[in-house]
Structure 1
Amino acid sequence: MAASVVTVNDFLDGHVGLDIECLDRIYLNGYVPNLQVGGQVVTFLTRHLGKPIPSPAVFEQIGGRFRRAVTKFAAAGDIPVVRFDKDDRKIDVMRPYQDRLAAQGRCGVAAIGVAQEFQPVWTAYQRDTRATDLPQFTFAKAQRRVTCYYFYLVDEQFGPGFVKICSYFPYPIKVWVNGHEWAKRQATKAGIGFAELSNGFASCTDPAALQAICDQLGPAQIQAFCHRWLDALPTPLSEVDEVGGYWWEFSMRQIETSRTIVFHAPRHARAFFEALVADNLDVGRPDTVEIIFGRQIRTGPKRATPGVFKTKVVTRGVDVTVNALYRHSRIKQYLKDGRALRIETVINSPTDLRVGRRLHHLDELQGKARAINNRLLDTERVGQGCVLASPAFARVAHPTIEEGRRAPALRFGDPRVMALAGALTTCVHAVTGLSNRSLRALMTGLHGAPYSIGQASYDLRRLRLKGLIARQPHSNTYTLTPDGLRFAIFYTKVHNRILTPLLAADQPPAPPPLRQALRTIDQHLNDQLTRARLPAAR
């Protein structure tokens, strides 16, 4: 007996215990806006600090003072200081210190890590001057190996996190926090009961209230975290510098936005995920990434969109992660703790989605990332649930009267219709829109024959009358309807995954059992023809 096939829709319709969207890992850059160009460095040294010569010696003075302050801070708080080796995974080294502090019910700095790392810092070059002149310097940014301090801490609001401070001018900062940890603490304060996943929620007593909490996390809470710890930790810049306008602002370096779907029956989750992986290995193709990320991708020889677009499957032991890469960013899917589907959009450059980098744009970025997660899941649902019911199939495959006008048939197997379905599936213009021009460009390659403006107009008309595309207001572009998406995927799936393999099933790479079965059928047919004294087919 054939094994039952598990689909996305089988599990998502009635088998989900919890569905939560939340910011996950949040990684920020801290920078001083007024120290980003050489002229600003000179102004800082002369007008702000009052130095007669803008000399790089001042950088070492400030850095030395900061390093001494860190040593004093660690000694006063009895805080462990750990020197990282170059191959250390820092979070693994420091997590026991954070866990120990959290187990004591305390908040504060758990440990300080020290590392030598390359950082973009200001480097001074002395100009050629006469011996009697005062020395003059030119400042330029360069990558230099300098000392960096990692303050691993436990925060009352965010739980575990860290602040990294570079000890050399202009003292760039990194901040890392986790949105799920923040949500857990807010849910506890609100009296909402929940069970934890590793970095997530397995169940809760009030899902709607928990989602409302997750929706509240934004720039204000994260900015408050940054201010709270910059005030508590030793820093290279002083209160006088802050008053003078020399203080850190924050931009988004990496933002992870997740959707976690927890199943009622975890024992079926792995089979479900394996089916999902097998059916979506092409999710990283430029045409599919265009749908999911909501960004147009150009693939021509001129003005091609930069970046890598591919699907990457990563296996660690028995755990599988599917990554679809888009420029600097990616979307990944994996099975969380064997019982939940986790979808995460990881934005490494907000400009990939035409969002500003500064922290106050976080809400806009999170909205777009959530939409990406949802589009991926919607695309997969349609891909595994694209069967056309008989009335719908009849409406598409036979001529009908729509809006008082004859709508020509879209017959399965017709080369032009199959090319049309393939064109819709290849680019599924749910985001960028489908026009006469773009349809001609797609059909020219798929149909293998000349395709005119008139033919494109005719096809767009019958697609619209069949309810497969909808015209956008005040434009000559069209978007795919849900029925249109089902039509395109159903036609191409049946043709490419069933008919084409079956028609060539007597040859490799068809599965051996299928080839053997066809040979058996062929032998029986030949035997029957022989008994009927008819010549065998050649």
Structure 2
Amino acid sequence: MNAFYEHHKDNIRFDYRCFDRILLHAAIQPFQQEQRAVGFFWTYRQIYPVSRQVLRDIATQYHNWAKNRSQKWGVAIQEDPPGRRDDFVDRYFRRAQPDQVVAIIKAREPATIMTAIGKDDRWHLELKRRWVEQYNFYVQDSRWGQMFVRVCPYFPFSARVCLNQHYWLALRMQERGIRFQQCANAFLQCSDPETLQKLADSLTADDLLTCAQKWLTHFTPFFTAEERKHAGVQHRLFFAQVEYCDNLIFRRRAA
């Protein structure tokens, strides 16, 4: 046990460790090679060559889809707000239902997109880093609680998924009837700290994958079910940032 804990242990009500913010980068791996993107368009869409206009049309389709979905969900697409986005969207989560999209923010951010170089009927594809408008979908997931998915509307639809185990733990404790008080990224009170720690330790990679793939599939409607099954166009996930916290909850303010 470290010296800090030993010094303050008489004032510590309980402690627990868990993941906090988990940021996942999502990419469709076959399309990180331009030649395989060309092969996909020819095999599954009978499109060749893949021109600049083809790629523009794909992005336009996504913008139109996002606009139509926002109207169906009754969730306006909002411009990037000043300050922290988490603070801005917090009010939209207060009455959220399971698996509900509560807010959409459109903002210019860097992404890797496919570009077409050439003219007439002679084109080749290149991946480039560009600042483009992207969509941040804020969701109340039925298993993970508050989360967001950022999707680039430009092919090949790079994305990010942000999860937080504190929200996941809150739902697991509710299922078990454990009383707790949550304040942002910490539990200030818990009627069963031992079970809280066991739940925190029970998180698996499948928990992350199941949630992320569900929403990535939902937010990238460009691909058909047949293409997802046979063309390997599912997003693969990579850790971009992981925060692991060691929480000490004091009985009173320590000197």
Match for residue 259 of structure 1?
246
Q: Quick one: distance in 2 between partners of 1:49 and 1:227?
A: 23
Distance apart, 1:107 and its partner CA = 4.2
Q: Do 1:149 and 1:164's aligned partners in 2 also have CA atoms closer than 8 Å?
A: yes
Q: Quick one: distance in 2 between partners of 1:36 and 1:96?
A: 38
Residues 241 and 56 of structure 1: CA distance in aligned 2, closer, same or farther (over 3 Å): farther
Match for residue 79 of structure 1?
75
Match for residue 95 of structure 1?
90
Q: Do 2:147 and 2:164's aligned partners in 1 also have CA atoms closer than 8 Å?
A: yes
Match for residue 56 of structure 2?
60
Letter in 2 for 1:30: A
CA-to-aligned-CA distance 1:447-492 (integer Å, 9 cap, x gap): xxxxxxxxxxxxxxxxxxxxxxxxxxxxxxxxxxxxxxxxxxxxxx
Distance apart, 1:231 and its partner CA = 4.2
Residues 235 and 165 of structure 1: CA distance in aligned 2, closer, same or farther (over 3 Å): farther
Distance apart, 1:117 and its partner CA = 2.0
Quick check: 139-148 or 206-215, which moved more?
Answer: 139-148
After the TM superposition, list the runs of 4 or more consecutive aligned residues in structure 1 that deviate by more than 6 angstroms. none
SS in 2 for 1:267: coil
Match for residue 156 of structure 1?
142
Q: Do 2:51 and 2:123's aligned partners in 1 also have CA atoms closer than 8 Å?
A: yes
Q: Do 1:15 and 1:263's aligned partners in 2 also have CA atoms closer than 8 Å?
A: yes
Match for residue 165 of structure 1?
151
SS in 1 for 2:223: coil
1:272-283 matches, cutoff 5 A: none
Higher strand share: 2
Distance apart, 1:106 and its partner CA = 5.1
Distance apart, 1:148 and its partner CA = 0.6
Letter in 2 for 1:112: I
Quick check: 44-53 or 154-163, which moved more?
Answer: 44-53
Distance apart, 1:91 and its partner CA = 2.0
Letter in 1 for 2:18: C
SS in 1 for 2:207: helix
1:112 paired with 2:104, answer: yes
**Unaligned 5+ runs, structure 1:** 1-5, 128-133, 272-538
- From 220, 234, 244, the equivalent of 1:247 is 234
1:201 paired with 2:201, answer: no
Q: Quick one: distance in 2 between partners of 1:115 and 1:141?
A: 21
Match for residue 138 of structure 1?
124
- How many residues get paired? 252
Distance apart, 1:51 and its partner CA = 1.3
Q: Quick one: distance in 1 between partners of 2:109 and 2:11?
A: 48
Letter in 1 for 2:110: F
CA-to-aligned-CA distance 1:129-180 (integer Å, 9 cap, x gap): xxxxx63223222222222111111112111111111011111011111101
Residues 88 and 167 of structure 1: CA distance in aligned 2, closer, same or farther (over 3 Å): farther
Residues 238 and 18 of structure 1: CA distance in aligned 2, closer, same or farther (over 3 Å): same
Q: Do 1:164 and 1:174's aligned partners in 2 also have CA atoms closer than 8 Å?
A: yes
1:22 paired with 2:18, answer: yes
Match for residue 37 of structure 2?
41
Distance apart, 1:98 and its partner CA = 2.0
Q: Do 1:121 and 1:143's aligned partners in 2 also have CA atoms closer than 8 Å?
A: yes
Q: Do 2:216 and 2:235's aligned partners in 1 also have CA atoms closer than 8 Å?
A: no
1:451-462 matches, cutoff 5 A: none
TM-score of the superposed pair, with normalisation by structure 2: 0.90
Letter in 1 for 2:121: P
More contact order relative to length (CA 8 Å, sep ≥ 6): 2
CA-to-aligned-CA distance 1:33-76 (integer Å, 9 cap, x gap): 11001211221222232213232322122221111111111111
**Unaligned 5+ runs, structure 2:** none
CA-to-aligned-CA distance 1:277-298 (integer Å, 9 cap, x gap): xxxxxxxxxxxxxxxxxxxxxx
Q: Quick one: distance in 2 between partners of 1:216 and 1:114?
A: 35
CA-to-aligned-CA distance 1:333-389 (integer Å, 9 cap, x gap): xxxxxxxxxxxxxxxxxxxxxxxxxxxxxxxxxxxxxxxxxxxxxxxxxxxxxxxxx
